[in-house]
Structure 1
Amino acid sequence: MHLDVYTNFATGSDKVFFEKWITDRNTRPDLIGLDKRREWVVIEAKGRTNSMGPLNLLEAKEQTKNIKTINGQYPILRFANSTYFRRNIWNFSLLDPEEYNESAPDIEITQGQFYRDYYSTIYNFLQHDDTEKIEYDNNSFLVRELKGTGIKIGIKSEFFSVLNETNCDEQLIEKAFLNIVPKPSETKDSLEDKYKSLEENPNIKDSTKNIGGEIRNNKRNNIQTNNIISKNSNTSVGIDGILVRY
């Protein structure tokens, strides 16, 4: 999720304020998120329609260092990526710096707060009479068509129910998501990788590939009956439970 949600659009206790980020917006990263194990990730993304030099990626790398912790936890991953075209070929470059700046701020955003804000836009979008329930890949989703596009977007029904039934209370949301989205089991290899220090693994990975706010708490009752979508339809579902059908 874009950090602007907390620096520019949030109000009250949700708002994140650091003077340096107001005066120099380019010092902070673009995005924060949670991975499958509910560990924090910091991302800076840059894009161009033309070629992009190595300095752009190095600048993005520096920006990922400018958050120290989130809710008291050090991010498990910080990465900078650049996307650009060169000779009509789409390019993607990635840097994964492990270090952070000692003077970087600590951000107090709970997982429940993050889930609530992450799903707020689609939750509000589904508060409408033409929202329908569908079945896809043995899961139930609430979806609604983007008017005039033929594209439907939605989320798993159980995610929508959590937001509805908890009245969007961040503590209740966090507890509910712990139950419906259990952490994957950690293998010995994943634990070893997780706790490697920068001294043990000083090489920064660089891979390049060329390839051609506020939630309204009104309850909904008028949801249309189920439609079953076959797996060979133009439908995709992310690990966040958001479905897109086109």
Structure 2
Amino acid sequence: MEKDRGYESSAEYYDIFASKEHVGFFLRQGMQYERALDIGAGTGLIAIPLASHCKEVYCVEPSAAMHRVLEMKVGINEELMRRVHFIPADAESFKIGRKFPYVFMSGSFEHIMEGDAKRAMHNIASHMEGGAKLLFDAFLGAMRPSSLKMTDKVVDGNYEFRRYIQRRIDGDKVMLKLIYETYLNGELTKSSIQYSQSRAFGLQEVKEVISDAGLSLLAMYSSYDMKPFRGKEPLLIVEASKGQ
């Protein structure tokens, strides 16, 4: 069994288990813009379909493994190659030299909170045009401990893919263990373990990070169909903007 503290052995599973509900949400929100900035783009689940509507989509992604999958998906499609741009960096350090009307993050905010969150949000804000929209999701429910259990199973022909997740809380740290398994005709052919760490945070800290960067909080939702956030839901979706 391979052990992975990044995405080196598990990036290939990312698209298999990713919820597609969030893709449509961020896509619909960004279709009207000519340019978009995707922070923590992963394998391009959102960026690639968005590129069929936007002239340019910049993908900030620090993981080399995710980057390789994204490049492979873009492949030799000349139109995508012109529109999709790869930025191998994290939210704190990336520099593009231009500003965007639409900036979004999906599944990335927890990683930002693990580092210097205020520095990261200031850097993101510096890449936003006046009046630009920032949209991101945060999984507050992921801050609760859970024993190791199978959370997902996907069957594709003769293949079956399984994912197991365990969360352990150590002070304000959330220690995550994920096990991925591949079966062919019922026989286990590959497995890998991924370890990651994030920091527990609450709604007030999210608001403070946004405000400190000079951004205005416009709305909070509890689902991708934009139901209002009441305060206790596990999913928080934030819409913020930068002043003119």
Shorter chain as normaliser: what TM range?
under 0.3
Which TM-score applies when normalising by structure 1?
A: 0.26
TM-score, with normalisation over the residues of structure 2?
A: 0.26
Where is the strand percentage greater, Structure 1 or Structure 2?
Answer: 2
Larger radius of gyration: 1
